[in-house]
Structure 1
Amino acid sequence: MSFMYEETPSYNNLKEKAYYIIKDKIINCEIPPGAFLEEEKLKEEIGASRTPIREALNKLEQEDLINILPKRGIFVTDINMKDIENIFQIRLLMEPYIMKISYKNLIEDELLKYKELFKEYFTDPKDDLYYTELDARFHYFLVKASDNKYLINMMQQIFIQNHRIRVISAKKPDRIENSINEHLRIIDFLLEGEIDEAVSEMEEHIRQSREVALRLGINI
């Protein structure tokens, strides 16, 4: 289940089913950046006719996850160096600030739960997608604690684009291990009430994530 949902979404119609299924495949890079989307194949996989598939694709184009090009076809949007810089510029600007204003709303039991989940990955590592989902949920948890619906909505859109970068970056040797240590330091500072140190650690974590993504090259 994607970090975007509190619980597994229920589909009210075939358009919603198509939208959520295709979106999850894109943000988890099951359909990679730049890939060509075949409508006929999507119809078969989802069990829907052309109309709900088209409606779902139109919505995904509005969210900048696909490009519908007349006479050429439908393509998943690429992620280039400029995209990476733009996404991390916003994250570096917003997430430390959000942590400062959300700190008072953070629930200690939730922080301890995330601490255990990150530590468990050291002793019982699962696949990369499991970790990237855990990573995304932790950052979304911090943003939601701001109790500011405008910030939450804005950052959710950033996190959706960032998730594709996160999935690809996780394949780099040692990145998951380093990322776990960075998250554990953030959590420990929060539990100790050292908000300034937690903010500094978050800034460093985002910088490290950006550097890894940039080293992966253009059009990842």
Structure 2
Amino acid sequence: MPKKGIYVTDVSLNDVVQIFQTRLEIEPVALRLAAPYLPEKELLYFKESFNRDEADFHCGFRLDTAMHLFIIEHCGNRFIIDMMHQVFDQNTRVIISSKQNKTKIHDARKEHLEIINLLMDNSVEKAQTAMYAHVENCKRAALDYFYNLQAFSSQPAPTYKTQLKMSYNDAK
């Protein structure tokens, strides 16, 4: 906002629902597309990292996000990659605002390890299933937190109404 600073909107429950709806549909597909191209050296790095003792909040969520983006970025589809980068930008807002990692709502390290081990064993279908279950667990944890904070509104943001009013006023 000019001469006032940056305005950051709150994360709504509807945002959380839509982020995880996208992740549930796209991440297993991206995993299947990426599986043949994932470098074993980097899979081993993630495996070792998730096997270590729990890191602090910032390192934990960065490692989590890095693993998901590592898989997505190897899928070979730039549209999926671009879209999922936007989704993960918003997902980071969800993690930070819900303080998931600080309050131990959901510790996903074991789920990440399962996905990585399945990929290393070339069990792609099982890895897809594990990815779906993992994202579903993250979704449940985030929704549990947000349900306690806000009332759910299934109404879309009234942006189009604002545009119509502006258009109507301009026509006068």
> TM-score, normalising length from structure 2?
0.79
Matches within 5 A, 1:157-168: 157-167=86-96, 168=99
Matches within 5 A, 1:72-87: 74-87=6-19
AA partner of residue 92 (structure 1): L
Aligned residues between the structures: 146
Matches within 5 A, 1:135-174: 135-167=64-96, 168-173=99-104
Contact 2:31 2:128 survives alignment (8 Å):
yes
SS in 1 for 2:7: strand
Contiguous gaps of at least 5 residues in structure 1:
1-67
Structure of higher RCO (CA pairs closer than 8 Å, 6+ residues apart): 2
Per residue, is there more helix in 1 or in 2?
2
Is the aligned partner of 1:94 residue 2:26?
A: yes
| Structure-2 change in CA distance of 1:73 and 1:141 (3 Å) | closer
Structure 1 stretches (4+) deviating beyond 4 angstroms? Answer: none
AA partner of residue 169 (structure 1): Q
Q: Distance in 1 between matches of 2:7 and 2:44?
A: 41
Contiguous gaps of at least 5 residues in structure 2:
151-172
Contact 2:20 2:135 survives alignment (8 Å):
yes
AA partner of residue 49 (structure 2): L
Matches within 5 A, 1:102-113: 102-113=34-45
SS in 1 for 2:122: coil
Query: Aligned-residue CA RMSD in angstroms?
Result: 1.9
Q: Distance in 1 between matches of 2:80 and 2:106?
A: 28
Q: Percentage identity across aligned positions?
A: 33
Contact 2:33 2:76 survives alignment (8 Å):
no
Matches within 5 A, 1:1-220: 68=1, 74-120=6-52, 122=53, 125-167=54-96, 168-173=99-104, 175-176=106-107, 179-217=108-146, 218=149
Task: Give 1:126 shift.
Answer: 2.7
